[in-house]
Amino acid sequence: MNFDLTDDQLEMQRVLRDFAEAEIRPHAARWDEEQKFPVEVVKKLGELGFLGVIFPTEYGGGGLSYADYVTVIEELARADASVGITVSAHISLCSNHIFEQGTEKQKQEFLTPLASGKWLGAWSLTESEAGSDAGGTRTTAVRDGDSWVINGSKTFTTNGSVADVAIAMAVTDKAKGSHGISAFIVPRGTPGFRPGRKENKLGHRASDTSEMVFDQCRVPHENLLGAEGDGFIAALKILDGGRIGVASLALGIAQAALECALEYSQKRKQFGQSISSFQAIQFKLADMATQLDAARLLTYRAAAVKDQGRRVTKESAMAKLFASEVAVRVAEEAVQILGGYGYTKDYPAERYFRDSKLMTIGEGTSEIQRLVIARQLLSQ
């Protein structure tokens, strides 16, 4: 077993870190304060090839692995979790759903501009009355000749108001329950499709989280993604991969919080010495680093299982559950180590703390991850 990044991954990390240090990190606090979606940075990430890393080169992607993807998302989140989540929703939810379930024509038409960074994607399962219980989807799609007419709304969609194309799950046969939900590709500008309310959030404030409204929205039958009725089951499979992305985001936030606390603890003097000389602070730092490493190993394992083409439901839920809860603990300890300054916007620790919390909620809460893991254990 080799726990080190490969030379190629280290090089990719260096390129991304240079970019992030120059063009993301210096602006992250302001974007957060102003809730400003960093459209130019996302465009540049597309030009640099970071919006399609896991997809084959024939579709404009980077032809890289999930293990590489973990490195990319962690590095982005280390600079700004809002940028990280924008990219992870685009890659592992929207683009990957088209890659895994799409026809060749859909891949050419939609995946290629997404993977090559020309377009940004959104993906939505969640509705106001269907969160953890996403099978309770109420948005409907009714077949009408060669097209489908979609009505309803999806909430909490990352990139919901800025995406060029969205994937939305809708009920096509109510009688069949979760086997009566289908996925649809809806390009921006389709009549009857518009962004709704943009959320004003605790964290990830520079990322776009919006409602998507469908009012007599007509899409051609060829925009049905996967088989009719398979949308919910496919969405669960897509979430298996997506949760590796969330775990990677959590690693990036925790890494940034640890670095912030380490640096501050060595500079800050109280009682005539740096606070890092106090064993109480040292123990905190040691626990933060140990938990973060454990989270990283679980995330790398999930990525390795995914790269082997094996089912990753349990491993990705474990990685997401553990890494997200570690991110919250590490970020909270970082605030504590910075004391009163940690509670101000003079330092990024408070932002890491706010950003960390979403990790335990998005793409399935911690409670749902525990249910997923337990179900896997009990079915073995």
Ligand X SMILES: Cc1cc2nc3c(=O)[nH]c(=O)nc-3n(C[C@H](O)[C@H](O)[C@H](O)COP(=O)(O)OP(=O)(O)OC[C@H]3O[C@@H](n4cnc5c(N)ncnc54)[C@H](O)[C@@H]3O)c2cc1C
Residues belonging to the active site? 363
Q: Which listed range, 42-50, 125-133, 259-267, 342-350, lies at the site for ligand X (CB under 6 A)?
A: 125-133
Of residues 261 and 368, the one with the C-beta less far from ligand X = 368
- Binding of ligand X by 166 (CB under 6 A): no
- For CA atoms 222, 226, 231, 235, give the dihedral sign: negative
* Burial class for 200, CB neighbours closer than 10 Å (0-12, 13-18, 19+): exposed
Among 147, 151, 178, 365, binds ligand X (CB under 6 A): 365
Minimum Å gap between C-beta 134 and ligand X is 7
Residues 6 or more apart whose Cβ sits within 8 Å of residue 271: none
Q: Which listed range, 74-82, 95-103, 124-132, 251-259, lies at the site for ligand X (CB under 6 A)?
A: 124-132
- Binding of ligand X by 156 (CB under 6 A): yes
- Binding of ligand X by 132 (CB under 6 A): yes
60: alpha, beta or left? (left if phi > 0; alpha if psi -120 to 50)? left
Distance between CA atoms of residues 293 and 328, nearest Å: 15
- Pairing mode, if any, of strands 181-187 and 224-225? antiparallel
Minimum Å gap between C-beta 366 and ligand X is 7
**Residue with nearest beta carbon to ligand X:** 131
Minimum Å gap between C-beta 24 and ligand X is 19
Distance between CA atoms of residues 177 and 168, nearest Å: 17
* CA angle, 14 then 16 then 20, to 5°: 115
Among 88, 124, 190, 299, binds ligand X (CB under 6 A): 124
Of residues 347 and 353, the one with the C-beta less far from ligand X = 353
Minimum Å gap between C-beta 358 and ligand X is 5
Contact of 185 with 121, CB cutoff 8 Å: no
Residues 6 or more apart whose Cβ sits within 8 Å of residue 301: 315, 319
- Binding of ligand X by 89 (CB under 6 A): yes
- Binding of ligand X by 131 (CB under 6 A): yes
Q: Mapped to the 3 state alphabet, what secondary structure does 121-165 carry? A: EEEECCECCECCCHHHCCCEEEEECCEEEEEEEEEEEECCCCCCE
Number of residues that bind ligand X (CB under 6 A): 22
Contact of 150 with 219, CB cutoff 8 Å: yes
Of residues 300 and 352, the one with the C-beta less far from ligand X = 352
From the centroid of its chain, how far is CA 353?
Answer: 17
Among 36, 100, 367, 375, binds ligand X (CB under 6 A): 367
Of residues 165 and 261, the one with the C-beta less far from ligand X = 165
Contact of 36 with 95, CB cutoff 8 Å: no
Q: Which listed range, 58-66, 119-127, 300-308, 322-330, lies at the site for ligand X (CB under 6 A)?
A: 119-127
Distance between CA atoms of residues 170 and 238, nearest Å: 16
Q: Rounded to whole angstroms, what are the CA distances from 339 to 78, 159, 261, 332?
A: 21, 35, 10, 11
- Binding of ligand X by 148 (CB under 6 A): no
Element (H, E) at 269: strand 269-270
- Binding of ligand X by 204 (CB under 6 A): yes
Among 71, 101, 106, 209, binds ligand X (CB under 6 A): 209
- Binding of ligand X by 21 (CB under 6 A): no
Distance between CA atoms of residues 94 and 86, nearest Å: 11
Minimum Å gap between C-beta 165 and ligand X is 13
- Binding of ligand X by 361 (CB under 6 A): yes
Residues 6 or more apart whose Cβ sits within 8 Å of residue 193: 150, 166, 186, 212, 213, 214, 217
Minimum Å gap between C-beta 307 and ligand X is 24
Minimum Å gap between C-beta 105 and ligand X is 25
Q: Which listed range, 28-36, 180-188, 307-315, 356-364, lies at the site for ligand X (CB under 6 A)?
A: 356-364
Sequence length of the chain is 380
Among 126, 210, 223, 248, binds ligand X (CB under 6 A): 126
Among 62, 102, 348, 362, binds ligand X (CB under 6 A): 362
Among 27, 201, 205, 243, binds ligand X (CB under 6 A): 201
Q: Which residues bind ligand X (CB under 6 A)?
A: 89, 123-126, 131-132, 156-158, 201, 204, 209, 358, 361-365, 367-368, 371
